[in-house]
Structure 1
Amino acid sequence: MLHELKEMSTMAPIHPQDVAEAAAAASVDPSDPAENFFGYAVMGVPFESGHYLAFRHFPASSIGPGYRAVWLREPDGVWTIFADAPPDVSCMRYVGTGITHSVTGPVELHWLSPTSARIEVPDAVDWRIDMGNTPATRVAGITARLIPAPLWQSDAFLAVMGAMMGPMLRAGRMRLAGRVPNGQTYRMRPLRVWALADSAATVFGRDAGRPRGLPEQEHLADLWLPQRGLFVADVVARYPSTAGRGDVTDQVRTVSTTLPGSRWGS
């Protein structure tokens, strides 16, 4: 709401850095019985090398501390999630059965300008993202912010939204509601969208090349990863199937927490 008032009163553009910094002071709805998170994300970027990178930063969480995570898919299809919070309170809680390796350690984000940032996992990933608006991302964001709150809780409506937004954003298939690999149901509410105008990365010291769609779009259960780099903000991620569950330990299915030494080689 504050962002909307700023835009209406000053007509000043809202940049990715603005919403990212505002998210640091956000909180989740304590009345929501479902596990839920608030923050922003790079939904994913495919590279010509066959690598795929995604980023999540949820400063507000209903189940533990906020966290940052980098998702890495290598050309052979092996997935690793690097997170700065334990697996039971971060992404692995929901997608662990689809992931080969999990690493808990530093994940760093540095803003280089209001529309550029550098994401780093020491000794593993060094990734630059440059974001910009397009007519399609503007329409997507304005449309999302005009949708009444109750509709964001409708799986049928979210199915239609995802089916429309994927082609409009040239991102391939997109689902805003569904089921994650660990079995929980999810609903996503992104209110702001930017396209990645450019991106470059090194993975374990190797250049990933230029952004380019994968030959076949990647997905983890119903989470379809876009074929084009997208940055989304003012995101609420909810897991309705967890509502009312007092003991959450049975929700966590993870894998090994270390990478084999050879994967860190030059």
Structure 2
Amino acid sequence: MKTIRTRALEAEHQATLTPGDDERFSGYGVMGLTFSTGHVLAMRRFPVTSVGPGYTSVWLRRPSGSWTIYANAAPDVSCARYFSAGLTDAVQCDVGVDWTGDTSFTVTIGQEVDLTWDVELGSTPITGAMSAVMTALPNKLLSSKAFLKTMGSAAGPMLSAGHLGLTGSVPNKQGFRAKPRRMWFISRSTATLGGEDLGTPQPLTVQTRLGDFWIPQRGIFVIGASSFDRFDPAQHLPATARRTP
């Protein structure tokens, strides 16, 4: 049986975009992980996209509620293209993801941010069953907003993750479709930010979100794809938009 690391590296080196004329991304990432200090971290590794070069990003929510996205690509061709209106800042910088074992990896951002985030992944009967179902689904079904809404509503309670939004609108007003194919839980994680220990993984008192994308109340790692409505300057906000204090 293939290890998680092998499947993730296959998703990286053999990544292809699904058919369509919307804005498409393929790869893997951590949907989100909440910590006892009130911090939230998420990670995206998209080796291929339809809007620019592949990139890696880290989403950081501080206990105050402010969000920053760090990415090694410009904001207008990375996650800030869709989420900037919900952010305090979007920063282009070096972001690293290094697989340290068959089920573990480390995410780092350099000295100015000084983030080190270690993640250990594990499989359970529910993640195995969900992965088996999702890998068998045709892309056309995973492109259906009605199906994704139903699947998200059912999967959230099944995964003990709170509300799980797989479709809806992002802060910059585009519609999105999240299309997971395989998933695992985060079984252990530690992180430091600027020398501060972020504590232990723990659900937030109030679940947080960016637009209709809800951060799960437990850590979930996925391999899959995402798509967004094509950018229309008459309807959507630019990557320079920022959250109003």
Instruction: Report TM bin, short chain.
Output: over 0.9
Task: Give identity over the alignment, percent.
Answer: 40
1:94-138 Cα deviation digits (max 9, x unpaired): 000000011111000111101000000113211000001011111
Q: How do residues 243-254 of structure 1 correspond to structure 2 at under 5 angstroms?
A: 252-254=238-240
Could you report, residue by residue, the CA deviation over 1:181-208 in whole angstroms, capped at 9, with x for unpaired residues?
Answer: 0000011111000000000000121000
Residue 23 of structure 1, CA deviation: 2.2
1:35 to 14, 19, 23: 23
1:128 aligns with 2:118: yes
- The answer to whether 1:232 aligns with 2:219 is no
Query: Deviation at 1:209?
Result: 0.6
Match of 1:85 among 73, 81, 87: 73
Native 8 Å contact 1:101 1:255 kept in 2: no
> For residue 97 of structure 1, what is the amino acid of its counterpart?
A
| Larger-gyration structure (1/2) | 1
In structure 1, what is the Cα distance between the partners aligned to 2:108 and 2:138? 37
Aligned length: 239
TM-score by length of 1: 0.86
1:60 is aligned to: 48
Query: Structure 1 or 2: larger helix share?
Result: 1
Unaligned runs of 5+ in 1: 1-11, 257-266
Q: Does structure 1 residue 168 correspond to structure 2 residue 168?
A: no
CA contact (8 A) 2:85 2:237 kept: no
SS for the counterpart of 2:178 is strand
Question: How far did 1:236 drift?
Answer: 1.2
Listed as ranges, the gaps of 5+ residues in structure 2 are: none
- Cα distance in 2 for residues equivalent to 1:180 and 1:189: 15
Compared with structure 1, are the counterparts of its residues 148 and 23 closer, same or farther at alpha carbon in structure 2 (3 Å cutoff)?
Answer: closer
Single out whichever of 173-182 and 144-153 deviates more from structure 2: 144-153
Equivalent position of 2:205 in the other structure: 215
Q: What TM-score results when the alignment is normalised by the length of structure 2?
A: 0.93
Per-residue CA distance 1:146-197 (angstroms, 9 max, x = gap) = 2233211211111110011111111110011111000000111110000000
Cα RMSD, aligned residues only = 1.8
CA distance in 2, matches of 1:228, 1:126: 19
